[in-house]
Structure formats: structure tokens, C-alpha cells
Amino acid sequence: MAVDELQAIVQRCQVLEEADFKGEDFDLFQVAGQKCLEDGYAAQLLEVIKNEKNKVIIKNMGWNLISPLVRCIFIYKQEDDKREHCLKILDQLAQLCNPKELFLGLLEQIEQTSGEQVCQTVMLLLQPLQTVLLKLQNKKAYSVGLSLAMIMNQLTPLPVPYTKQQIQEDKLGLCQCCNAVVDFAKPFVNEVVKNMEKSSEYNDMELKEELLKFCMKSLKYPLLTAQLEQLEGIEEHPFRHFATEIIDILWNIGELIPLVFLHRKGKSPHWENQEFADIERKNTADSLACLSYLMFVQHFGIDCFPMVFSPSYLLQCNMMHIEVLLKRTEESVLSKGLDLFESCLLRMEDNSLLHQYLEFRDFINVPQDLVKVMTLCPIEHLRKKSLNILQLFIDKFDAEGKYTLFRCLLKTSNHAGVEGYIIKNIKDQIHLSLTKACDNIWFTGHHLISLLDLVLSLPEGAETDLLQNSDRIMASLNLLRYLIIKDCESDNQTGVWTTLAKIKQNFLKPLHVGLNMSKAHYEAEIKNKKENRREAHSSKTVCSVTVGGEKMPAMTTEMQLQVLHSALFTFDLIESVLARVEELIEVKIKAVMDENS
């Protein structure tokens, strides 16, 4: 019987000195203890462990029982007495075992767990692990850091619950586990705080650094991808609670403000391997971006925030974080970038952002990233939001800033819809310049002429794909029509009349040629399709279309004809606006000639 075997081994070891224990004794104790657990004799094993006579044996050998003990705890049901006995055994081992040996045993158990049991195992072993760490005298900071790193490494592969239902279900126990890990870390945070209070020159930075690393890892996972908006029906949102606790730790150890403003990264290891160094840099950037989102959007820790910084400075501080977030494709991360950008911009007055800010790399990169979200993101509400934020960004700049930004986006967006949108903004700025009493040099005169050279042109001359560029072309024609109507040749505030010959040569003339070529091409295509349809046995002949390397659903001849007719309609629309522009030019020129004659 397992209990008898265990008793025999214990009685033999009781008479031995601690130094006389052999490897064989350890093995026999582990096998017998494991058999007791597996055969359902946990109560008897508990009695053996609690027996004062066995104190030295348990101190040296008890840690070997951790693995079978954890296995049995998961086998027994919640209300089973045997499970309760196993939990008491675990608690006794934490109190009695050699801290160093038990520490390694517990860590090994956490390292070996995987899949659905990760969170259960971590939560089960957090209390004994904390007890052991508090007993350690040597290498305590290192051991705490190793424990937190091991736990976070095991949790990181788990999917983060995102929807309200997923958070409520917490299928794998991640929400509960994250908050349990924070509670596990609290005694060590208190220790750092206590030592800092004792001395303003607190030199033992190791434990503080380990806690900082834990916070940085927590910001990247799970908080970077977590849903952090307040959800109706969830009284205490687990990830919001976790975020609050992480911010509190950073504040308590004196690292919150340095991280937000000085981008302090702690003691980064020196990597000889460049790939590892790049990963470390990226992880740090992700964590700091998440921290800024928590503070400036969700207002965690905002009470600790010094209210002395200008909105433009806060925007400048956050642009690098916004850039990091906007380069990601996951909805949960991308939406945080848009929210952070919007939050920073809403703090500012219109026309208050100085053009000099565009000398910072981030102020050029971020709007370009925003354009990519607008044009490439498959999620409609994020595309719409990014467009609204781009307009907000434009509105905040002074006149020269708007002018510089427009030039940049026209050159870099490579998207006709975006270019059309920018050209409409240029038109609005010209209108403000012409109707305001104050003179705006950036959207009149020689500065505007330089901008018009970019706007009133076709990218590839007469060979330009007019259909693909129709948004840009229509916006350009509408702008030109507005300039001709609003600005008299005698005033020529915009300079459009000075450069009219160039506009005709570089824009209007090639547009005429391009329209004639395009219409002829599409009309020939329509004729071809109609003839092919008559020759075919059925009008349901299909063709395959490939877009971006992906095969689209097959198109019938009728569908192809609809597309071709739609293209012709677009050309007719462009042609009618072009005709109106040329008519206005003739009328204006004739009126001036009549005045002069």
C-alpha cells in the first residue's frame, strides 16, 4: 500500500542527518508520495507532511511532489475533499520546503504547462510562488524578474478576449489570471516603495527594473490588443482594472512620467545579434505607444499628470506612438492609434499648429500612414474615421503648414481619391483667402501658382488613365472653374490668369486628347462585346477578372457592358465640366477685350 511505503521511507530518513540524505532517498520519497496522491491518499500524505518529526525531510524532499500534486489538483473536481487536501499540501510545501529548491520546482511547473491549462496552473501556483520569493534572501530581484518573465511568456501566446461576450466568458481564464499576476507583484512593489521612502538615493535598482520590465511586457500584452472601452453590462472590466493596476505600479515606482515624456526604457540588454536588438526596440515602442493611449485616451493615471504642457507639445510627444500604432493592421491596435491621434488633435485650436512642426519626421510620416489606412484598411468604420482625422490634422495647421502638407500629400499619396480630397481642401483655403480681409500669401500669388502646377496637370499627360484618376481630374477642373469665376483677370489675386497658357498646355489640351482616346477605346470595346454576344450561344458568357492578384467572381457579358457604359458616363461628365471651364475662360477673356477696346 502506497501510504505504508511512504511511512517506511519517512521512518528510515527520520534517523538520518540532513547531510546524509542520498539521491535514492529523494527518488523513493517522490515515487511513494506520487503514488499516495494518485491512489487517493492525499489526506494521509498531508498528515505525514504536517508531522513535526518530518520537518527536515519535507524541507529537502517536498519540492519533488509539486508536479504530481498539480496534476492531481486538476484531476479532482472542485468540491472533492481530495482536491482540498491537495491544496493544503501545496500550502504546507510553500511554508516548509527549501525556498530555492521549491522556487525552481514551481517555475519548472509553470514552464511545462501549455494550452488551456496555462492560466489555471499560473493562478494555482502564484500564492506559493509569492510565499517562496518573500523568503528568499539572495538574488531576490533576479528571482522575481524570472518569475514574472516566465509567467508573461506563458500567457503571451493565448488569444486576448476582445468582444463583450468573450470577456464575460473568459474561456481560458486570461482576464482573471492577469489581475492575479498583478496581486502577486504587489508585495514587491511595496518593498521598492518602502526602500525609496527610506532614502532619496535609493540605489538597489534591480527589483525596480524587474517590475518595470513586467509593466512594459503587460502594456504590449495583453493591453495593446485588449478592448479597453467601457462595456455596458460589465461592472468591472477586467482589462481596465488590469490597466489601472499597471499604471499604479509605474507611478509608485516613480517611472510613469519618465516613460511618458522622456521615453525611458529601463536597462535594455546589449544584443550582439541585430535581430534581437530590433525585436527589443519594437517591443519597447509598442509598450510606450500603449501607455500613451491609456493616459491620453482612457485617462488612466491622468490625476498624476502635470497640467503644464501645451497641446502642441503633447501632440509632438505622441506622434511617434501614433506612428507605431497606425503601422499595425489589427483592428484593436489600429483603432487605438486613431483614437490617440484624434484625442491629441481635439485639444488644439484650429490654425494653431505651427508649420515648423512639419520639420519633424513623424509629422510627415503619420499623415502618410493615415492615407494608407484610408485607402487600404478593409474595415469601413476605421477608413471613415481616418479620413475625419486627416481633416482634423489639416485644420490645426497654420496657412503655411496647410500649404506644405498639401504639397507633400499630393506627391506621396498615389491615390486619386485622396488627391481629389486634398485639391478640394486647397479650393477651400483659396476661398478663405479671397473672401477674408487679411491677405494670405500661401494661397494666392506665386505660392499658389507653384501649387497649381502640381494640381492642374495629368500624371502621364494624354496617356493618363482617366478612369482611375477621375476623382483627381474632377476636383482639379472644379478648382479651375472656381478660380476663373472668382478671380477677375484685372485683379488676378490667385495668379491663375498669369499661368493660364501653361494650364492650357499641360492640363486642358492633354485632357482633351486623353478623353478622345479613352472614349474611342471604350466605344470600340462596347461594340466588340455586343458583336461577341450576338455570335455566342448565350448572353451568359463569362469572363474572369483578377484584382490585386485575387480572382474576382466571373462577369457575364451584360455586367461587362454595364462597367463599360459607366466608364463612358464618367468621361462624359469630365468632358462637360471641361467644356464649361473653357467656355468661362473665353467669356472672361472676351469681356476684358471688350473693356479694353
Segment 103-132, tens digit of pLDDT: 999 999 999 998 899 999 999 999 999 999
Q: What is the distance, to the nearest Å, from the Cα of residue 586 to the centroid of all Cα atoms in its chain? A: 54
**What average pLDDT does the chain have?**
88
- Cα–Cα distance for residue pair 513/458, rounded to 1 Å: 12
Question: What pLDDT is recorded for position 295?
Answer: 94
C-alpha cell of residue 216: 512594459
How far, CA to CA in Å, does 533 sit from each of 176, 549, 557? 65, 28, 7
The DSSP string of 314-379 is HHHHHHHHHHHHHT---HHHHHHHHHHHHHHHHTSPTT-B-GGGGGSHHHHHHHHHHHHHHHH-S-
C-alpha cell of residue 415: 491615390
User: Is 212 exposed, middle or buried, given 0-12, 13-18 or 19+ CB atoms closer than 10 A?
Assistant: buried
Q: What is the mean pLDDT of residues 216-244?
A: 93
- The yes-or-no verdict on residue 586 having pLDDT over 50 is yes
The DSSP string of 270-301 is --SSHHHHHHHHHHHHHHHHHHHHHHHTS-TT
How far, CA to CA in Å, does 228 sit from each of 41, 223, 290, 581? 46, 8, 11, 52
* Length, in residues, of the chain: 597
Question: Can you tell me which residue has the cell 511554508?
Answer: 95
- Cα–Cα distance for residue pair 485/479, rounded to 1 Å: 10
- The yes-or-no verdict on residue 266 having pLDDT over 60 is no
Residue 550 phi/psi, 5-degree rounding, is -110, 135
| pLDDT tens-place string over residues 299-340 | 998 888 878 889 999 999 999 999 999 999 999 999 999 999
- What is the number of other CB atoms lying within 10 angstroms of the CB of residue 2? 19
Of 190-199, 207-216, 354-363, 383-392, the poorest mean pLDDT is in 190-199
Q: Which 8-state DSSP code applies to residue 161?
A: P
| Residue 577 near residue 567 (C-beta atoms within 8 A) | no
Among 82-86, 390-394, 462-466, 579-583, the range of highest mean pLDDT: 390-394
- How sure is the predictor about 15, in pLDDT bands with cuts at 50, 70 and 90? low
Q: Which 8-state DSSP code applies to residue 160?
A: P
Give the chain's end-to-end CA distance (angstroms, integer).
125
- How sure is the predictor about 522, in pLDDT bands with cuts at 50, 70 and 90? confident
- Cα–Cα distance for residue pair 2/31, rounded to 1 Å: 9
How far, CA to CA in Å, does 111 sit from each of 42, 45, 190, 233, 395? 25, 26, 27, 36, 53
Of 93-102, 228-237, 392-401, the poorest mean pLDDT is in 228-237
- Cα–Cα distance for residue pair 478/486, rounded to 1 Å: 12
Residue bearing the bigger pLDDT, 202 or 505: 505
- Cα–Cα distance for residue pair 585/483, rounded to 1 Å: 10
Helix axes 118-135, 81-96, angle to 10 degrees: 30
Question: What pLDDT is recorded for position 141?
Answer: 93
Every domain of the chain and the residues it spans: 509-533+556-596
Of 188-202, 220-234, 525-539, the poorest mean pLDDT is in 525-539
Question: What pLDDT is recorded for position 525?
Answer: 77
- How sure is the predictor about 546, in pLDDT bands with cuts at 50, 70 and 90? low
- The yes-or-no verdict on residue 357 having pLDDT over 50 is yes
Which is nearest to 319 in space by CA: 289, 280, 279, 274? 289
Percent of the chain exceeding pLDDT 90 equals 61
C-alpha cell of residue 464: 493618363
| Residue 129 near residue 106 (C-beta atoms within 8 A) | yes
- The yes-or-no verdict on residue 356 having pLDDT over 80 is yes
Question: What pLDDT is recorded for position 267?
Answer: 46
How far, CA to CA in Å, does 366 sit from each of 117, 250, 448, 478? 41, 28, 25, 29
Of 29-38, 170-179, 570-579, the poorest mean pLDDT is in 29-38
Residue 229 phi/psi, 5-degree rounding, is -75, 150
- The yes-or-no verdict on residue 273 having pLDDT over 70 is no
Q: What is the mean pLDDT of residues 266-290?
A: 74
Of 36-50, 284-298, 569-583, the poorest mean pLDDT is in 36-50
Which is nearest to 48 in space by CA: 8, 1, 104, 94? 8
C-alpha cell of residue 201: 538615493
Which is nearest to 70 in space by CA: 84, 90, 85? 90
- Cα–Cα distance for residue pair 153/213, rounded to 1 Å: 12
- The yes-or-no verdict on residue 38 having pLDDT over 90 is no
Percent of the chain exceeding pLDDT 70 equals 90
pTM of the model: 0.88
Of 78-82, 255-259, 457-461, the poorest mean pLDDT is in 78-82
- The yes-or-no verdict on residue 438 having pLDDT over 70 is no
